[in-house]
Amino acid sequence: MLESAGQTAAGIYSTGQSVEAIFNSAGVAAWQSETMANFSITAMADDSSGWAKASAVARASMDPLALARQASDKAKNSRKPREIEPGRYTVVLEPAAVLDLVGQMFGDFSATAMSDQRSFLTDRLGTKLFGDNIHIFDDVAHPLQAGVPFDGEGVPRRKLTLVDAGVPRELAYSRASAHKAGVQPTGHGFPLPNEVGEAPTNIVIGGGSTPLDQMIASTERGILVTRFWYIREVDPYEKIMTGMTRDGTFLIENGRVAGGIRNFRFNQGLIELLNNVESLSPSVRASGEEAFDMVVPAMKAHNFNFTEVTRF
């Protein structure tokens, strides 16, 4: 398939089984076994590339051939990329792009980070930060999630409402941070010793009912983003991130994908982004390269800040 399209492919397919257990003399006893399959592929042409990635606890629920076709189509459809001016655009972010960008903020939903005043939620918990359509949970029991139902200290993981209708509500607590705050641990602590305390790791961003193709069809002019990479933090309190698009960046004109464009660098605040979300697709299990796997939707948002065109 890729050879006939004049493309070169690189990627990995892996399967594995793991067992995690914790026991101590104080009566902690917890264990869990799990399987996991991963597949990622990059299709490369002379002046374009495409990418796809997925993971699943049951390999039968993953379709590597479909993912390979998806990567190949992105490389084919983004050939001869045009260069357009940087600026603020409406964006349609595929789930992997949402995961890798929005995923940069979840280490801040930590009681230790809050106590250290290194969280962007400092003095903001319980205040409205995002749009009404933003709902985020940490839920290891979600049917599309994976992982052990206890933390590195053997505490059962509790479902957390991290954001409710745009309002940050709950934090993750380890035993130590819970004791300090006079509350119960939530089951999100890391094995000791560690420097960060705890964090939510089974993220579920609530979705909507707008399919990706409908998001594109409703966009007069915008940018379709397959994924981001090389994401770094610029401003930790406003949660402004910088990075680049990669492996399939397309111009949308009059509700249609009009062709590939040169990749952009961006400077974008996550608080601003999550206030500008116009529509959400149903949530899916997604994989990326800059954050751990999550359950996320595609997003359409306005006023996304692309600052310059990259050299490729």
Q: What is the 3-state secondary structure (H, E, C) of 215-281?
A: HHHCCCEEEEEEEEEEEEEEECCCCEEEEEEEEEEEEEECCEEEEEECCEEEEEEHHHHCCCEEEEC
Domain-ending residue, one of 50, 76, 102: 76
Do 101 and 133 share a domain, yes or no?
A: yes
Read off the pLDDT of residues 262-284 as tens digits, 9 standing for 90 and up. 999 999 999 999 999 999 999 99
With respect to residue 3, please indicate whether it lies within any of the assigned structural domains: no
Whether residues 168 and 63 share a domain: the answer is no
Tell me: do 36 and 149 sit in the same domain.
Answer: no
Question: How many independent structural domains does the chain possess?
Answer: 2
The percentage of residues in the chain with a pLDDT greater than 70, rounded to a whole number, is 98
Q: Please state the φ and ψ torsions of residue 60, each to the nearest 5 degrees.
A: -65, -20
- What's the pLDDT tens digit per position in 84-125? 999 999 999 999 999 999 999 999 999 999 999 999 999 999
Assess whether 185 and 245 both reside in one domain.
Answer: yes
pLDDT digits (tens, 9 = 90+) for 45-74: 999 999 999 999 999 999 999 999 999 999
User: What is the arithmetic mean of pLDDT over 15-27?
Assistant: 94
Kindly report the pTM of this predicted structure.
Answer: 0.95
3-class secondary structure, 185: coil
215 and 304 part of one domain: yes
Instruction: Report helix, strand or coil for 140.
Output: coil
* 72 shares its domain with 86: no
How far apart (Å, rounded) are the C-alpha atoms in residues 108 and 103? 10
How many angstroms separate the CA atoms of 213 and 62, rounded?
22
- The answer to the question of residue 172 being in a domain is yes
Q: Which one of 31, 59, 76 terminates a domain?
A: 76
Residues 132 and 188 occupy one common structural domain: yes
In a domain, 37, yes or no: yes
Contact 83, 261 (CB under 8 A): yes
| Last residue within a domain, chosen from 76, 91, 113 | 76
Q: Is residue 2 part of a domain?
A: no
The parent domain of residue 154 ranges over 81-312
Which residue, chain included where needed, has tokens 């962007």?
Answer: 120
